[in-house]
Structure 1
Amino acid sequence: MPAYQGDDLVGDIRVLHRVFWSYYLCIRVFRHCKPIVQVDGTHLYGKYKGCLLVAVSQDGNNNIVPIAFAIVEGETFEAWHFFLSNLRQHVVTRDGVGLISDRHESINAAVERSNGAWSPPRAFHMFCIRHIESNFLRKFKAPHLQKLVVNIGYSRTVREYEVRYQRLRDRGEAYTNWLNRIPREQYALAFDVGYRWGHMTTNLVECINSVLNGAHNLPITALVKATFYRLNELFTRKRAKAEARINAGHVFSEIVTSKLHANQLALGNIQVDRIPCRHVFACCANQRLDWRLYVHDVYKMDQVRRVYRARFRPLGNPTTWPAYNGPQFIPNPYLQRVEKGHPRMTRFLSEMDTRMLRCPRQCTLCGAEGHSRSRCRRSVGSNTNRDAP
């Protein structure tokens, strides 16, 4: 944004408003990952307010692959439109991609106004079932029906969906009327036409947010460097693991091998996960067909190796970088925190947070709730008697 000193425009200074970045390796590896993208945001707790938006995908071996980042002023429509537009233009350039997010109004508005970039047939926007569960509980205060709502979303066949949906309707038509406001192809696995790849939540992004938890207090430059070095470490470790499996003679990824040995594949997996179920194996054995032809290429170890084949180039000595002759960037003074002491948490806790599900604090000395051992009155009395002559 332009910078002003009073009413005068300062020509050689700009105010940093938003920044989007991705790495060439992340753009390149997405071609060999599952065509699924999960997006979410988390607050920054440094000197300046803001949000870190993250987009992740997954390879054929169920490894999380971060593909894009952005620092914005907040989870607003303009911020999400900025992030999703750059994500679609520079990183997710293939069609037929599934986008999973929560039901944030700003995300829905950004998707609707993307000029078809995140709409069928180019992309398919779907919701996290855990956030739908949270919204359902907030609306009806019926915790005994939470699991049923989640099971409706996890239904792999239309028959399972109809049975569980009718069970919820028998408890009250108000519940199903609320659920009918959400298109079932956006939350039910049986109607997503395979664009979810079995993913029902945004847990992949939550895992990355926990990995970057220590970087949320850093300045922007340090935060970008943290993503660079941690992705470099991630790619190096996964590359060595993929090479070891290939050298050992493995053709398919660990997820395919574990499912085949477990023999727990249910009907509908070939449409959802692109992995044959036991019924396909029986037909292939009867007709003398190769069952490996029905496993998607993304699960092959050669495809997994292509994800981590490229390497990050070292940043090098900053003194050898080309000279920068552009305007100087300064932080937005309106986003600066003015509170003293430890930064306050601005996140709104919901019933999904484990902190809300913990039991009340219980003293290990007296057994009462509401305090710890160090603040127990008996502890104070025992210390007094011990110090007495």
Structure 2
Amino acid sequence: MEFSFSEAVIKAMKEYTIRRSVDYKVYESEQLTFYAKCTQYESGCDWLVRVTMISRKHCWVIRRYNGSHTCIRANISQDHSKLDSITIAEVIKPLVEADPSLKVKSVIVEVQSKFNYTVSYRKAWLAKQKAVEKIYEGWEASYEALPIWFEAMYHKEPSTIVHFETMPAYQSDDLVTDIRVLHRVFWSYYPYIRAFRHCKPIVQVDATHLYGKYKGCLLVAVSQDDNNNIVPIAFAIVEGETSDACHFFLSNLRQHVVTRDGVWLISDRHESINAAVARSNRAWSPLRAFHMFCIRHIESNFLRKFKALYLQKLVVNIGYSWMVREYEVCYQCLRERGEAYTNWLDRISHEQYALAFDGSYRWSHMTTNLVECINSVLRGARNLPITALVKQHLQA
């Protein structure tokens, strides 16, 4: 047999040993030679192989081979040492390319189906990361490419808004001079900004976690036009759902995209969002803007607090009450089941969650479902290196 590259030799060796449920030990791996023996060679199995690079033929050739293994062909273990993350990455590469959100459990199932071995969760996770790198470039290289890619976008469309925040780089506890690393980035393309001028005065914001090698949060803002089409208007990648990160996002959103007054901001009740609104110098406060809460998040907070599933629908009905009388009836029903429930609800201004008191300004938008739809479309992108993730948002 002949092979074009040394990598092809090693790949063939691994596939052979995995398929035969045997194993080998490398005795020599040089620039021109690869020599391996069965791990049971000292115990009686004579299997060995020597592959050499033949310069005149420009290929690797098997020069010595001792037949089949004579050792017992029993399963080595539930796993196999040669079934490493690199080998698995090659196998699952088409699956990851088709669906970057492929679950690690699905990787384990695929390996079981292909090789009849059950690999560890960590090995499967590493294999997926390596497959992503092969398809979309390396994780570190992607971070380095992001400013260059945004600069190219800016030259193509000068109205593109991009705002980076960086922080010092440290190696152990020592500051690395002349190097700064990405902390946060906000971006919005001119078509988004222009489209928002023709949308309802509604902005929904939400955060979703990134699942790649480097963690963080993706912040998304969306609106809706008069034809009920969902319009994404801005994005940000930040370190997490912190007050500073939300302030960074909302400040840039207000300065560059949502510049008109009388806008209704709909979000969950996360403390970071509330803190960012409070420190916005009234940019997101009446009368310039009105901060509303998603009724589904209020429902979720209520269930987490009281574990009262039978009251779930009643809490939602209170928010969806169109008339004050209807609101009072539902509110009283909740109160009759326990004052603790209504006391908890009273800590939230009813103008922020009930249709009966919103002055008909929230356009009947009671949830953050619009932004959840965008998050669903971009579900796979959250597993990608950062530049590939940003490109996916442009395509969406």
SS in 2 for 1:79: helix
Q: Distance in 2 between matches of 1:206 and 1:119?
A: 24
AA aligned to 1:205 is: V
Q: Distance in 2 between matches of 1:2 and 1:135?
A: 37
Q: Verify: 1:136 aligned to 2:302, yes or no.
A: yes
Q: Of Structure 1 and Structure 2, which has the larger fraction of its residues in strand?
A: 2
Match of 1:49 in 2: 215
Q: Distance in 1 between matches of 2:391 and 2:382?
A: 12
Match of 2:360 in 1: 194
Match of 1:18 in 2: 184
Q: Verify: 1:217 aligned to 2:383, yes or no.
A: yes
Per-residue displacement from partner, 1:262-297 (whole Å, max 9, x unpaired)?
xxxxxxxxxxxxxxxxxxxxxxxxxxxxxxxxxxxx
After the TM superposition, which segments of 4 or more aligned residues of structure 1 sit over 2 Å from their partners?
2-11
Match of 1:95 in 2: 261
Q: Distance in 2 between matches of 1:140 and 1:124?
A: 28
Q: Distance in 2 between matches of 1:142 and 1:8?
A: 51
Give the CA deviation at 1:10: 2.4
SS in 1 for 2:333: helix
Give the CA deviation at 1:174: 1.5
More moved, 76-85 vs 163-172: 163-172
SS in 2 for 1:216: helix
Match of 1:151 in 2: 317
SS in 2 for 1:20: strand
Match of 2:112 in 1: none
Q: Verify: 1:81 aligned to 2:237, yes or no.
A: no
- TM-score in terms of structure 2 length: 0.56
Match of 2:279 in 1: 113
Match of 1:272 in 2: none
Q: Distance in 2 between matches of 1:160 and 1:180?
A: 17
Pair 1:161–1:8, CA change in 2 (3 A)? closer
Q: Distance in 2 between matches of 1:167 and 1:9?
A: 62
Match of 2:54 in 1: none
Pair 1:221–1:159, CA change in 2 (3 A)? same
Q: Please tell me whether the aligned partners of residues 125 and 186 of structure 1 are also in contact (alpha carbons under 8 angstroms).
A: yes
Q: Distance in 2 between matches of 1:147 and 1:4?
A: 51
Q: Which has the higher contact order (CA 8 A, sep 6+)?
A: 1
Give the CA deviation at 1:164: 1.1
Q: Verify: 1:67 aligned to 2:233, yes or no.
A: yes
SS in 2 for 1:17: strand
Q: Distance in 2 between matches of 1:205 and 1:130?
A: 13
227, 243, 266: which one aligns with 2:393? 227
Q: Distance in 2 between matches of 1:130 and 1:65?
A: 21
Pair 1:4–1:146, CA change in 2 (3 A)? closer
Q: Distance in 2 between matches of 1:171 and 1:3?
A: 55
- Identity over aligned pairs, percent: 84
Q: Distance in 2 between matches of 1:52 and 1:8?
A: 28
Unpaired segments ≥5 residues, structure 2: 1-166
Match of 1:2 in 2: 168
Match of 1:319 in 2: none
Give the CA deviation at 1:9: 4.6
Match of 1:296 in 2: none
For 1:317-332, list aligned pairs within 5 A.
none
- TM-score in terms of structure 1 length: 0.57
Give the CA deviation at 1:193: 1.5
Give the CA deviation at 1:77: 0.6
319, 331, 342: which one aligns with 1:165? 331
Give the CA deviation at 1:128: 0.6
Q: Distance in 1 between matches of 2:361 and 2:189?
A: 25
Q: Distance in 2 between matches of 1:4 and 1:163?
A: 59
Q: Distance in 1 between matches of 2:219 and 2:346?
A: 30
Give the CA deviation at 1:166: 1.3
AA aligned to 1:16 is: L
- For these two proteins, the number of residue pairs brought into alignment is 229
Q: Please tell me whether the aligned partners of residues 168 and 175 of structure 2 are also in contact (alpha carbons under 8 angstroms).
A: no
Q: Distance in 1 between matches of 2:392 and 2:322?
A: 39
Q: CA RMSD in A?
A: 1.2
Q: Distance in 2 between matches of 1:102 and 1:203?
A: 11
Give the CA deviation at 1:2: 2.7
Unpaired segments ≥5 residues, structure 1: 231-389
Structure number with bigger Rg: 2
Q: Please tell me whether the aligned partners of residues 124 and 195 of structure 1 are also in contact (alpha carbons under 8 angstroms).
A: no
AA aligned to 1:139 is: K
197, 200, 205: which one aligns with 2:371? 205
Q: Distance in 1 between matches of 2:394 and 2:268?
A: 27
Match of 1:34 in 2: 200
Q: Distance in 2 between matches of 1:53 and 1:167?
A: 37
